[in-house]
Amino acid sequence: MQKSPLTTEEMRIVELNANMLGITHSMLMQNAGREVARVVARNERVEGKRVVVLCGLGGNGGDGFVAARYLQEDGAEVEVYLLGSENDITNRDASLNWDILKNLHEIKREVLKTESSVKACKAILEADILIDAMMGFGLKNRVREPLLTAVKAFNKSEAKKYSVDVPTGIDSDTGAVLGTAVRADVTVALHAPKKGLKSAREQVGKLVVVSIGIPKEATRICGPGDLSLYTGPRRAAANKGDFGRILVVGGSNVYSGAPALTGMAALRTGADLVSVLVPESVVNAVRSYSPNLMVASLRTEILLQENVDTVLEESKNQDVVALGPGLGIDSETVSAVRTMSEKLGRSGKRMVIDADGLKALAGSEIRFTSENAVLTPHWGELTILLEEKPDESPELQDRIEASLRASVKYDSVILLKGPVDVVARPDGFYKLNRSGVPAMTVGGTGDVLTGIVATLLAQGKGAFFAATAGAYVSGRAGELAFKNLGDHITPTDCIDRIPEAMRQ
β-strand partners of 54: 81, 132
In a domain, 2, yes or no: no
Please write the tens of the pLDDT for every residue from 206-253: 999 999 999 999 999 999 999 999 998 888 878 888 889 999 999 999
In a domain, 417, yes or no: yes
Q: What's residue 1's pLDDT?
A: 55
In a domain, 400, yes or no: yes
2: pLDDT strictly greater than 70: no
Please write the tens of the pLDDT for every residue from 288-320: 999 999 999 999 999 999 999 999 999 999 999
CATH of residue 418's domain is 3.40.1190.20
Cβ neighbours around 368 below 10 Å, total: 25
341 and 371 belong to one structural domain: yes
Cα distance between residue 261 and residue 451, in whole Å: 8
Q: What is the DSSP letter of 240?
A: T
> Which residues constitute the domain of residue 178?
8-219
Kindly write down the DSSP assignment for every residue of 289-303, as one continuous string: H-TTSEEEE-SSSS-
Strands (E), 32-185: 50-55, 77-83, 108-112, 129-133, 160-164
Q: Which of 229, 269, 204 is nearest to 473 (CA)?
A: 269
199 and 154 belong to one structural domain: yes
User: What integer is the mean pLDDT of 418-437?
Assistant: 98
Cα distance between residue 259 and residue 244, in whole Å: 17
Which of 119-123, 360-364, 490-494 has the least mean pLDDT?
360-364
In a domain, 236, yes or no: no
In a domain, 234, yes or no: no
Strand order in the sheet with 206-210: 108-112, 77-83, 50-55, 129-133, 160-164, 186-190, 206-210
Please write the tens of the pLDDT for every residue from 447-491: 999 999 999 999 999 999 999 999 999 999 999 999 999 999 999
| CB contact at 8 A, 110 and 89 | no
Q: What's residue 264's pLDDT?
A: 98
Task: Give me the percent of the chain exceeding a pLDDT of 70.
Answer: 99
210 and 338 belong to one structural domain: no
169 and 254 belong to one structural domain: no
141 and 254 belong to one structural domain: no
Q: Which of 370, 315, 352, 348 is nearest to 452 (CA)?
A: 352
Burial category of 244 from C-beta neighbours within 10 Å (exposed 0-12, middle 13-18, buried 19 and up): buried
Q: What's residue 94's pLDDT?
A: 97
Q: How far is CA 5 from CA 8, 9, 36, 487, in A?
A: 10, 12, 19, 43
User: What integer is the mean pLDDT of 98-102?
Assistant: 97
Backbone angles phi, psi at 433, to 5 degrees: -110, 120
| CB contact at 8 A, 97 and 25 | no
Boundary-marking domain end, from 219, 254, 269: 219
504: pLDDT strictly greater than 80: no
Boundary-marking domain end, from 161, 186, 219: 219
pTM value? Answer: 0.93
116 and 162 belong to one structural domain: yes
302 and 206 belong to one structural domain: no
Which of 373-377, 388-392, 441-445, 465-469 has the least mean pLDDT?
388-392
Cβ neighbours around 114 below 10 Å, total: 13
| CB contact at 8 A, 80 and 107 | yes
User: What integer is the mean pLDDT of 336-354?
Assistant: 96
32 and 133 belong to one structural domain: yes
Please write the tens of the pLDDT for every residue from 109-158: 999 999 999 999 999 999 999 999 999 888 888 899 999 999 999 999 99
272 and 172 belong to one structural domain: no
Report the chain's mean pLDDT, rounded to a whole number.
95
In a domain, 299, yes or no: yes
Looking at the structure of the chain, the number of domains it has is 2
278 and 382 belong to one structural domain: yes
201 and 95 belong to one structural domain: yes
Secondary structure element (H or E) that encloses residue 404, with its range: helix 396-410
Q: What's residue 233's pLDDT?
A: 85
| CB contact at 8 A, 65 and 134 | no
Cβ neighbours around 102 below 10 Å, total: 10
Q: Any idea what the Cα angle at residue 342 is, between residues 293 and 421, rounded to 5°?
A: 65
Q: Which of 314, 320, 301, 311 is nearest to 256 (CA)?
A: 301
Task: Give me the percent of the chain exceeding a pLDDT of 90.
Answer: 93
Secondary structure element (H or E) that encloses residue 422, with its range: strand 421-424
127 and 270 belong to one structural domain: no
Q: What's residue 240's pLDDT?
A: 82
Residues constituting the chain: 504
In a domain, 3, yes or no: no
- Give the three-state DSSP class for 342: helix
In a domain, 304, yes or no: yes
Q: What's residue 140's pLDDT?
A: 87
CATH of residue 75's domain is 3.40.50.10260
Q: How far is CA 11 from the centre of its chain?
A: 9
Q: Any idea what the Cα angle at residue 503 is, between residues 499 and 504, rounded to 5°?
A: 125
